[in-house]
Amino acid sequence: MRRVGDGSEQEVDVRIISAMNVSPDEALQSGIIRSDLFYRLNVVTIVLPSLQERKGDIEELADHFIAGFNEMFGMDVKGICEPALQGMMRYHWPGNIRELEHALESAFNMMDAGQELIEEHHLPAYVFRKDKEELTLTRPLSLPQEIDLPGMLDELERNVIVGMLEKYQGNVSKTAEALGLRRQALQYKLDKYKIQRAKGERRMVREHPIKPLLGSGYSGSRSSQPITPMLAMKRGNAHENGFIRPAENEHRHDASAAAIDRVAAAVFGRSG
């Protein structure tokens, strides 16, 4: 080797010990380490498992750190109480041994003089937070002796359907698709829960502007039949409104024309 600013080279006998917190293969693929440097250093590789993979070492490591901190803090801590130790065994220790060491050092700072055992409240709260969350999730719910489960489920289903209908402005097809239902199934549930849609969504002929079409005449008709209201719509431009198709054959049979007249009279008789 050559020192900075020196013109002569000197021989040295060294051993390089390096550590990585990722696997060598991952480091090479992601470019964290250069391949030529890695292959120069990679003579003996020792894989150290994480503390989570060897939790049986936690108690022994804790005793080692406690002995060191007793000397540092001038205390005489004997160990860790059983509930605190069990909580430490359940924790996943992402920071490995260094995190364990710092957690115990934090406990020494929280202890009073004369205390001999590390208890749960001495250790950092994050060590037990996940454990308490899991206990909360697995704890059975506090329920009354009797409960109307079908009624609760029906109410929940009704509220979800009403909310989705509002989101899609009463469009049944889009609501059914969003809920993962067939349109017929959703229609059944609408009737079951008596859910009313907005009137604008009920597409019925009587709600369309028909009356302005009644006065429109028809020119060039080859039929001798009188132009009734419905027939006037048929022969006029009513198909432009989107609910009546244009007639393909204007020469209608007498019976067909009479049937149309009866339907028109019935419809407009009800609507006034």
- The overall pTM is greater than 0.85: no
Tokens at residue 203, please? Answer: 């597409």
User: Mean pLDDT across the stretch 116-127?
Assistant: 92
Residue 251 has pLDDT above 90, yes or no: no
pLDDT value for 147: 78
What does the alpha-carbon distance between residue 242 and residue 220 come to, in Å, rounded to a whole number? 23
pLDDT value for 141: 54
Name, of 106-110, 166-170, 217-221, the range with top average pLDDT: 106-110
**Residue 111, SS3 per DSSP:** coil
> Smallest Cα–Cα separation from 88: which of 130, 135, 138?
130
Q: What is the mean pLDDT of the chain?
A: 76
R_g of the chain, CA atoms, integer Å: 42
Give one DSSP letter per residue of 52-110, joined into a string: GGGGGGHHHHHHHHHHHHHHHHT----EE-HHHHHHHHHS--TTHHHHHHHHHHHHHHH
pLDDT value for 85: 93
User: Mean pLDDT across the stretch 132-159?
Assistant: 70
Where does the pLDDT of residue 150 fall: very low under 50, low under 70, confident under 90, or very high at 90 and above?
Answer: confident
Tokens at residue 211, please? Answer: 């009356």
User: Mean pLDDT across the stretch 45-50?
Assistant: 86
b (16+ CB within 10 A) / e for 8-36: eeeeeeeeeeeeeeeeeeebeeeeebeee
Where does the pLDDT of residue 254 fall: very low under 50, low under 70, confident under 90, or very high at 90 and above?
Answer: low
Widest CA span in the chain: 123
